């Protein structure tokens, strides 16, 4: 396939940035999207030009690092996959592909397609953990009975990889899907109930402080989430928040 690429180039956080056109030829449909960008970068390197900066790590849909907005969709046109799992067979010969960074006030662009998603880390630090008694009297986690349904829902929430596609897809740049997944995975388990009240209050307060927008129930986040995190988690977090605020 021969493709036209329109890629966001931005030297650093202060640069205004702009779309730059590139042509790439002989792209195999079996290549992943990131492999296609690797080939482009190889060509740019060979010409003595600055390669395009983009985030990636595992390239297996696990780490949540890859974060491209492709033809107006977070992680591109496929469903239930991250950018690193997107393959070039989703495109046709002669296509023009627009490649941009995830855009949100709370995710400032660092360079080209790389954004700073450390706001998510700070939300996690505000409560996305459980404290463990390590005195030697700790109960074996396997000795605590948990309803299968709850265990399944907690596991589903725990599959959130923190990629930020929910924020990038939301017209308000809301982080509610991400935060609700992190709150839910612990709220559904007895081990997470001990600190449930302060957790939801602190994580929501941090989310607001970091500059994410409000949720207006559009549901774009659920559609674009590569891990299928359900809007039910937002409803659960809202209930958790309501009860916590009344205590
Ligand atoms: S909820 Fe989905 S889209 Fe949002 S950070 Fe988690 S995995 Fe990514
Ligand atoms: S590079 Fe790890 S999820 Fe894409």
Decide which of 138 and 77 is more confident. Answer: 77
Percent of the chain with pLDDT over 90: 94
Q: Is the pLDDT of residue 190 over 90?
A: yes
- Where do runs of H (alpha helix) occur along 159-231? 165-169, 176-187, 190-193, 196-209, 220-224
Residue nearest atom 6 of ligand 1, based on CA coordinates:
160
**Cβ of 160 less than 6 Å from ligand 1:** yes
Question: Does 135 score more than 90 pLDDT?
Answer: no
Give 47-59 pLDDT, tens digit per residue.
Answer: 999 999 999 999 9
Contact 74, 59 (CB under 8 A): no
Please give the CATH number for the structural domain made up of 117-246. Answer: 1.10.1060.10
pLDDT of res. 210: 98
- Give the residue, out of 64, 102, 120, 165, with the most ligand 2 atoms within 8 A of its beta carbon, to mutate for a pocket test: 64
Q: What is the pLDDT of residues 91-123, one digit of tens each?
A: 999 999 999 999 999 999 999 999 999 999 999
pLDDT reported for residue 130: 93
CATH tag, 3-111: 3.10.20.30
For residue range 212-239, what is the model confidence (pLDDT) as tens digits? 999 999 999 999 999 999 999 999 999 9
What is the distance between the alpha carbons of residues 204 and 210, in angstroms, rounded to a whole number? 10
Confidence of residue 137 (pLDDT cuts 50, 70, 90): confident
State the pTM of this model: 0.95
**Ligand 2 first shell, C-beta below 6 A:** 56-59, 61-66, 82-84
Task: Pick the residue whose CA is nearest to atom 2 on ligand 1.
Answer: 225
> Ligand 1: which of 66, 117, 123, 164 to mutate, most ligand atoms within 8 Å of CB?
164
Instruction: Report pLDDT for 30.
Output: 97
Mean pLDDT, all residues of the chain: 96
Closest to 75 in 3D by CA, of 232, 214, 221: 221
Q: Which ligand is nearest to the CA of 67?
A: 2
Compute the distance from residue 170 Cα to the ligand 2 centre, in Å. Answer: 21
**Banded model confidence at residue 74, pLDDT cuts 50, 70, 90:** very high
Q: Place 136 in a pLDDT band, splitting at 50, 70 and 90.
A: confident
Average pLDDT over residues 135-158: 91
Structural domain spans, the chain: 3-111, 117-246
For 11-47, write each residue's pLDDT tens digit: 999 999 999 999 999 999 999 999 999 999 999 999 9
pLDDT-derived band at 141, boundaries 50, 70, 90:
confident
Structural tokens at position 231: 């809007």
Q: From the CA of 80, which ligand is nearest? A: 1
Half-sphere exposure of residue 246, counting CA atoms within 13 Å on the CB side? 6
Ligand 1 within 6 A of 120 CB? Answer: no
Is residue 91 within 8 Å of 3, Cβ to Cβ?
yes
pLDDT at res. 134:
81
Closest Cα to residue 182, out of 139, 113, 109, 124? Answer: 124
Confidence of residue 132 (pLDDT cuts 50, 70, 90): confident
Q: Tell me the mean pLDDT in the region 122-148.
A: 89
């Amino acid at each position: 396939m021969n493709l036209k690429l329109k890629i966001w180039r931005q030297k650093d956080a202060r640069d205004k940035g702009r779309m730059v056109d590139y042509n790439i030829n002989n792209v195999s449909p079996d290549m992943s999207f990131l492999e296609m960008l690797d080939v482009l970068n190889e060509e740019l390197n060979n010409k003595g030009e600055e390669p395009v900066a983009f985030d990636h790590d595992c390239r297996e849909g696990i780490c949540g690092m890859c974060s491209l907005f492709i033809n107006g969709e977070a992680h591109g046109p496929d469903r239930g996959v991250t950018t690193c799992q997107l393959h070039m067979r989703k495109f046709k010969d002669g296509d023009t592909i627009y490649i941009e960074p995830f855009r949100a006030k709370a995710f400032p662009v660092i360079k080209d397609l790389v954004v700073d998603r450390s706001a998510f880390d700070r939300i996690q630090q505000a409560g996305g953990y459980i404290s463990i008694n390590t005195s030697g009297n700790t109960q074996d986690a396997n000795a605590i009975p948990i309803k299968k349904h709850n265990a399944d829902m907690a596991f589903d929430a725990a599959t959130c990889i923190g990629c930020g596609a929910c924020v990038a897809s939301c017209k308000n740049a809301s982080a509610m899907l991400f935060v609700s997944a992190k709150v839910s995975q612990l709220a559904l388990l007895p081990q997470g109930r001990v600190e449930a009240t302060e957790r939801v209050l602190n994580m929501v307060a941090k989310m607001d402080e970091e500059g994410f927008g409000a949720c207006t129930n559009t549901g774009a986040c659920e559609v674009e989430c590569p891990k299928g995190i359900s809007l039910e988690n937002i409803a659960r977090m809202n209930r958790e928040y309501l009860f916590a605020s009344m205590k």
